[in-house]
Structure 1
Amino acid sequence: MRLPATAHTSRPWRIHEIAGDFHLEDVWALPTPGGRDDLPYLVRQFTSGDFVENSTSQVARLLFAVRWKLGALLGWDKPGTGVGGRVRTLHDRLPEDLRDAPRGPAFRGGTFTPLYLTRDEWAAEMANQTVHAVLHVGWVPDDSGGYRGQMAILVKPNGLFGALYMAAIKPFRYLGVYPALHRAIGRTWQANASERARADRGQQ
């Protein structure tokens, strides 16, 4: 479910200190009900799962295939356009306590680079020729006394070209990508429920 911007901006996330010059593009509630300390499970799911391949939506798979094909043809994703090339990493902006904090696991395929992981917040960054973006996942109380994930996307478009690109893909994100992504996240979370329960029992 898409949420108002205040669902992200009203919370005291550490990302506000680091990416204040980024635009908040989207905020979504994730179908991942859990306990107080379950954020690491969701982080591992994000970094190890391929939600595009696991998605049952042919539209989402087609949109991603077109995007990667265009990126390859037009050079949008060349190494020099990414973090450490076209843009400096946001890790340089981290306050000392977050620099010393865990970053979380690396992404399979290396699309995003983790920045930091706390008890209730995780952030990762990526960049290409069109945009510098931050994936932010918070762990927030839900309406049933438990917790769930909340995903925000923050972006800094690369000039007019980047702004036009983000505007052009917005309908496709809302109609094809995000619904399929959230369904895949929810299915994987439910499928891993028994694993989380066993791990929790082992820690008691």
Structure 2
Amino acid sequence: MRLPKTAHTSRPWLIHEIAGDFQVEDVWALATPGGPGDLPRLVSQFVSGDFPRGAPLIVRVLWATRWRLGALFGWDRPGAGLGSRVTSLRQRLPESVPPGPGPANLPFTPLYLLADEWAAELANGTVHTVMHVGWVPDGAGGHRGQMAVLVRPNGWFGAAYMAAIKPFRYAFVYPALLKRIERQWHAGTGGAPPLHT
């Protein structure tokens, strides 16, 4: 379920201290009911994922098209990413904050893992983005995951790119991803990666 941006911005998370110059693009409640210490299990799903394998054909086609366009136009070349075009948000963190795990199948770089939040980042020619997963009380005595996507577009082109892909994210990618997260959570298996590549 999509949530208002305040569901993310109202929480006292570390991400606000290092990504204040990013826009909150999307916030989603994850159907991952659990106890107060279950965030590592959810993070394990994210970092071990192979999405979009198993997703509907349209999602796989969109995903493959994005990577082909990135190769054609150089969006994903090394000079467009972290350490080249942009500095990692990791540089804004105290050294004592542990980096946590990163997704195995996509070029996201882990930022940190704490008791109630995990974040990873990616930068390319279109955008510098952060995927943030928090672990929040569900209002009924339990907890659940909450995913937010934060972005800093690369100029006018990055803003136009984000606007162009928005309908596809909402109509196809997010529904498939959220269903997969829920299904794998209830099955007790891993596998859901970040978006906005």
Q: Same fold (TM over 0.5)?
A: yes
Contact in 2 for aligned 1:48/1:108 (Cα 8 Å): yes
> Given residue 79 of structure 1, which amino acid in structure 2 is its aligned partner?
P
Give the 3-state SS of the residue equivalent to 1:52 in structure 2: coil
Q: Which moved more, 1:12-21 or 1:184-193?
A: 184-193
Per the alignment, residue 60 of structure 1 pairs with 59
Per the alignment, residue 82 of structure 2 pairs with 83
Per the alignment, residue 140 of structure 1 pairs with 136
Report whether the alignment pairs 1:180 with 2:176. yes
Q: Given the alignment, which residue of 115, 127, 134 partners 1:131?
A: 127
Aligned-residue offset at 1:118: 0.6
Quick one: distance in 2 between partners of 1:124 and 1:105?
9
Taking structure 2 as the reference length, what is the TM-score of the superposition?
0.93
Aligned-residue offset at 1:24: 0.5
Aligned-residue offset at 1:188: 1.0
Per the alignment, residue 49 of structure 2 pairs with 49
- Describe how 1:2-21 pairs up with structure 2 within 5 A: 2-21=2-21
Once the two structures are superposed, what CA deviation does each residue of 1:31-60 show, in whole Å capped at 9, x if it has no partner? 1111110001111110111121132x1121
Uncovered stretches (5+) of structure 1, i.e. residues with no partner: 196-204
Per the alignment, residue 200 of structure 1 pairs with none
Query: How large is the RMSD of aligned CA atoms in angstroms?
Result: 1.3
The structure whose residues are more often helix, as a share, is 1
> Given residue 136 of structure 1, which amino acid in structure 2 is its aligned partner?
H
Report whether the alignment pairs 1:39 with 2:36. no
Taking structure 1 as the reference length, what is the TM-score of the superposition?
0.90
> Given residue 74 of structure 1, which amino acid in structure 2 is its aligned partner?
F
Quick one: distance in 1 between partners of 2:99 and 2:39?
13
> Given residue 166 of structure 2, which amino acid in structure 1 is its aligned partner?
K
Aligned-residue offset at 1:110: 4.3
Contact in 2 for aligned 1:82/1:129 (Cα 8 Å): yes
Contact in 2 for aligned 1:28/1:150 (Cα 8 Å): yes
Once the two structures are superposed, what CA deviation does each residue of 1:117-148 show, in whole Å capped at 9, x if it has no partner? 11001111000000000000000011331110
Which is higher, the Rg of structure 1 or of structure 2?
A: 1
Q: Given the alignment, which residue of 159, 163, 169 partners 1:163?
A: 159
The percentage of aligned residue pairs carrying the same residue is 65
Per the alignment, residue 69 of structure 1 pairs with 68
Q: Which moved more, 1:77-86 or 1:99-108?
A: 99-108
Give the 3-state SS of the residue equivalent to 2:52 in structure 1: helix
> After TM superposition, where is structure 1 displaced by more than 2 Å over at least 4 residues in a row?
none
Report whether the alignment pairs 1:93 with 2:89. no
Aligned-residue offset at 1:155: 0.3
Counting matched residue pairs gives 190
Report whether the alignment pairs 1:108 with 2:104. yes
> Given residue 25 of structure 1, which amino acid in structure 2 is its aligned partner?
E
Quick one: distance in 2 between partners of 1:9 and 1:109?
29
Once the two structures are superposed, what CA deviation does each residue of 1:16-36 show, in whole Å capped at 9, x if it has no partner? 100000011000001111111
Contact in 1 for aligned 2:121/2:128 (Cα 8 Å): yes
Contact in 2 for aligned 1:36/1:146 (Cα 8 Å): yes
Contact in 2 for aligned 1:51/1:185 (Cα 8 Å): no
